[in-house]
Amino acid sequence: MAHQHYTSFLFNVNELHVNEDPENGGRPPRVNENGRWVPPIYRDGFLPQTPGRMFRWTNGYVEYAGTDYGWLNGQGFAYLNDEMLQHYGSTTLFWCNEFTQFQMMEADATTIDIATSDFPYNRWYPLTFRYERTLSRVSSSVEEQYLAGRDGTWIAQLGLQTYRHRSNHPTEGLAGNLATIVALVAFSCTDEDTLYDVLVNNLAWRGQLRIYDAEHGRCPERGVVSNIYLDPENPHGSTYDALRRLEWMDGPIIY
C-alpha cells in the first residue's frame, strides 16, 4: 500500500535579550541616523538565549512536538536518540520601535559578528516581500516593501498593518522564509508560555491564522531567534527540497 506523503518540520522560538553593559562584556546601545535604537552587530551584544519549546508543523497544522525534542547549546536535539536535529534555517527578528519596526537577519545573529561578516550577513534588513499574484513571500532583501494586498485578519494579527499595500488589492496570504513567519507569529504573543497556549490550547494556527485574544509582544528592543529543523519522524516529507518548495513554490503558509 502506498504511503501518504505529507510535509512537516519542527520549530522553536528562543527569546533573545541584548547585553548593552560594557562592564558585563556587552556593547553600548546602537542607534540609527535618527537616533532610534537598532540591534547589535557584534555577538557579545547579546545575552544567552532563553530556549523555547519545540513545535511541529504538519500540512498547516501546528502541535507541541513533546519533551523528546528541545534546544540546547545552539542545537536542536532529539533527546530520545541523543542526536542533533538537522537544521534547515534560522531567523533573528527584532521589534525595534514603532518607527523602525521589524529588523531581521536570516541567521542566528548570536553566532556571528555582523560588522565583519560578508554579504548577506553583514547587516540587518527590514521585512521585504516577493509577489506571486496576490500571495506575499517574505524574506530579507527581496523586491517589495509592502504586502501584495491590504485585507486579511492575519495582517493585523502579525503586526503588519504598516506593510499593507497602498492599493486595495486582495491578498491570498503569506509564504516565504519559514523561520521569519514563525518569528512573526511569536511576536503576536508576549512570551513563550502564551505562544504555547495560542498554538496548542487555542489551535490558532491551522493554515488560517485565527483571531486569538492574546496581548501582542511587539515591545521595543524585543528579539527572538526562530529555528527550523527537519522532522526525523517524517524522513520522506521533511527534506531540504520539500521545505524549499513549501517556502517558494507552494501556496500560503498563513492566511
pLDDT tens-digit series, residues 19-43 = 999 999 999 999 999 999 999 999 9
- The pLDDT value given to residue 3: 57
Highest mean pLDDT among 168-172, 189-193, 211-215: 189-193
Of 193, 246, 183, the C-alpha closest to 215 is 193
Which class for 91: exposed (0-12), middle (13-18), buried (19 or more C-beta within 10 A)? Answer: buried
Burial of 208 (0-12, 13-18, 19+ CB in 10 A): middle
The tens digit of pLDDT for each residue in 196-237 reads 999 999 999 999 999 888 899 999 999 999 999 999 999 999
The backbone region for 208, taken as left when phi is positive above 0, alpha when psi lies in -120 to 50, beta otherwise, is beta
Q: If residue 182 lies in a helix (H) or strand (E), which one and from where to where?
A: helix 178-186
pLDDT digits (tens, 9 = 90+) for 111-126: 999 999 999 999 999 9
Q: Average pLDDT, stretch 234-254?
A: 98
CA torsion sign, 245 to 251 to 252 to 253? Answer: negative
26 touches 18 (CB < 8 A): yes
Determine how many CB atoms are found less than 10 A away from the CB of residue 77: 18
| Contacting residues for 205 by C-beta, under 8 A, at least 6 apart | 60, 61, 62, 185, 198, 199, 254
